[in-house]
Structure 1
Amino acid sequence: MSKTAFVFPGQGAQYAGMGKDFYDNFKESKEIFQRANEALGFDITKLCFDGPNEDLSITKITQPALLTVCMAIYEIIKKNSNNNSVVMGGLSLGEYSALTAAGAMDFETAVKLVYNRGNYMQNAVPLGEGGMLALMGCTDEDAIRFCKTVTERFGLLEPANFNCPGQIVVGGKSAAIENALGQTAEFNIKKAVKLQVSAPFHTSMLISAGNKLKEDLSKIKFKKPSCNVISNVDTEYYNDDLIIADKLEKQVYNPVRWEACVRKMIADGVNTFVEVGPGKSLSSFLKKIDKNVKSINIDSIAALEQYLQLTYA
């Protein structure tokens, strides 16, 4: 029997116009956007549809915008398919979409929480003091060794995202980032690309953001997820509502272990991954992790119809 995982993207997947065809064609999707506007107290719908992309890329806007679009699409999938999902997951911010889809918190709670999370992450490190690099063509071990050496020589640099084989993101002090670019050949790194982000996400430089988020999380009464949801921090499933707050806090300043999450889901029998939301980043990672599993991306009505035809074929 086919076992399906629904997975949700993180920051970087956003674009102006995302989710508009769902808003225009499904009352359930329109309601999600309207609920987001009311919960946040500003028009996130207009930002999702019209941008501009510069505003949509501000972390405190990106996070609630992506969660809103993902939930607007997921509502329609849930309504129209015989959900045989055995697990859900998400990359960084996407983990909040997964927990919301699995009923661990209501949508209003989630959208306000990720708005605050974006604010805390954005303000944790003064602009210009931190950054991130994507490392291509190296092993996890090479990336870890690279970070350790750069830290000893130039200042803090830490692994932030283990996305897929040959793509690891690292983050740290700006001086370390600048100097690190000249050290890559020594560590079997084929290419290093400086990312256009405002802070070194998922590194220890974000501990203050995690502490602030912890206060918000402590006020939420989470429910046990209705299906397995995998944690980026330790690649274990949330089997208890009492551990959700602790893991979400730690996720802010610990590496996202996405490749290991996917391998765990595959080992547990998942053979189809449905990426719910804008972009195809998770599907592209999946191809590099395991070519034998199927991936489907749903970010348009045409893609949804194609998925439903396959589901009921």
Structure 2
Amino acid sequence: MEKTMCLFTGQGSQYPGMLQTMITRCGDAKKYFQIAFKVTNMDLANICFGNKTDFLQSTRYSQIAIVVYEYILYKLWSKNNKIHPNYLAGHSLGELVALAVSGTFSFKDLLVIAKKRGELMQKCSDNYDCSMLAVLNMKSSIYKLQKKYSNVYVANYNSTLQTVFSGNKSELLAFSKDIIKENSILILLNVTGAFHSPYMNDIIPEYRDLINSIHFNQPHIPIYSNVTGGIYPQNEDAIKELLIKQVTSPVKWTTIIDNANSNSIDKYIEFGPKKTLLRFLPTTSNIKREFIFEKNIMLM
């Protein structure tokens, strides 16, 4: 029998206009959208497809919009296909969606966590002059160069050829000049925070209080952890601790995919506004790939 793994994209995949097609054409989607409004007291319609298009550039708004989008996508897909995935994984913010669809916590709890996470990360970002950059055609020599900079950290190990770094803007600028000398390609990300780094330490006390106030169930679908790259344990306290550590720790996506491939995954299905995670799979792999997004879910 075919083994499937569902993947949930993180922040950066959002776009103006997202969610509009689903909630105007699908009753189930509109129902979840209405719940999101009641729980968050956010005007998601205005944020996602209103006249002002810059809301989604803000972490405090983009995080809640993305988790609502992906949760609805998954629910519509699973209802239409009646497929029970063997494994789940989410990249950064997407890990919250993976935990929710696994039954670890409810949709309402997902909304509460995502809203607070986005607000805290935005507040923390506003306190530091930081940013992030992605390095393509990654080489081991670049990790050695990184050690020259005390305020530059690995944020995401996305693939063997792509790594994302977080840090102080001035040090990232100096680091970028070293990267260019190594004939690698860099992309400065349009963010104002150093996510998945010690720069997020300030949010931990308040985030921990929130996480500890919510009851977590044992996941009914195994989920890979961003922090360890392995499967989340079946223990409430351990799950909470990993989720808290996630905001300051690098995302070990390459380890997750290596471990998943060792479990003989036949098909990866990505849910998100834009295709991202399927691009990180090994190019030589014969594994099946499918991308579920707003427009094609309405055709199912």
TM-score by shorter chain over 0.5: yes
Seen in structure 2, the aligned counterparts of structure 1 residues 52 and 258 have a Cα distance that, compared at 3 Å, is farther
Counterpart mapping for 1:131-280 below 5 A: 131-139=131-139, 141-151=140-150, 156-185=151-180, 188-240=182-234, 241-280=236-275
Does the aligned pair in 2 maintain the 1:19–1:73 contact within 8 Å? no
Shift of 1:17: 1.8
Shift of 1:278: 0.8
1:299 to 261, 268, 293: 293
Counterpart mapping for 1:274-289 below 5 A: 274-286=269-281, 288=283
Aligned to 1:27: 27
The number of aligned residues is 299
Structure 1 length-normalised TM: 0.90
Shift of 1:185: 4.5
Taking the aligned partners of 2:126 and 2:7, their CA distance within structure 1 comes to 32
SS in 1 for 2:86: strand
Q: After superposition, what is the alpha-carbon deviation per residue over 1:237-260, rounded to whole angstroms, capped at 9, x for unaligned?
A: 123233221011100001011121
Does the aligned pair in 2 maintain the 1:203–1:252 contact within 8 Å? yes
Aligned to 1:311: none
Q: After superposition, what is the alpha-carbon deviation per residue over 1:152-211, rounded to whole angstroms, capped at 9, x for unaligned?
A: xxxx1110001112110001112211211221255x351222211011000111111223
Seen in structure 2, the aligned counterparts of structure 1 residues 171 and 63 have a Cα distance that, compared at 3 Å, is same
Aligned to 2:91: 91
Taking the aligned partners of 1:86 and 1:231, their CA distance within structure 2 comes to 15
Shift of 1:128: 5.7
Aligned to 2:71: 71
Does the aligned pair in 2 maintain the 1:128–1:174 contact within 8 Å? no
Does residue 1:110 correspond to 2:110, yes or no? yes
SS in 1 for 2:54: helix
Does the aligned pair in 1 maintain the 2:22–2:298 contact within 8 Å? no
Could you tell me which amino acid in structure 1 is paired with residue 242 of structure 2?
K
SS in 1 for 2:33: helix
Taking the aligned partners of 2:51 and 2:146, their CA distance within structure 1 comes to 36
Shift of 1:212: 2.1
Does the aligned pair in 2 maintain the 1:77–1:304 contact within 8 Å? no
Aligned to 1:38: 38
Shift of 1:97: 0.5
Shift of 1:22: 2.0
Shift of 1:21: 2.3
Taking the aligned partners of 1:76 and 1:181, their CA distance within structure 2 comes to 42
**Structure 2, gaps ≥5 residues long:** none
Does the aligned pair in 2 maintain the 1:19–1:72 contact within 8 Å? no
Q: After superposition, what is the alpha-carbon deviation per residue over 1:292-312, rounded to whole angstroms, capped at 9, x for unaligned?
A: 21211111343564xx6xxxx
SS in 2 for 1:149: coil
Identity of aligned residues (%): 26
How much is the aligned-residue C-alpha RMSD, in angstroms? 1.8
Q: After superposition, what is the alpha-carbon deviation per residue over 1:3-59, rounded to whole angstroms, capped at 9, x for unaligned?
A: 111111000100112222222232211111111110001211332233644211200
Taking the aligned partners of 1:124 and 1:211, their CA distance within structure 2 comes to 12
Structure 2 length-normalised TM: 0.94
**Structure 1, gaps ≥5 residues long:** 309-313
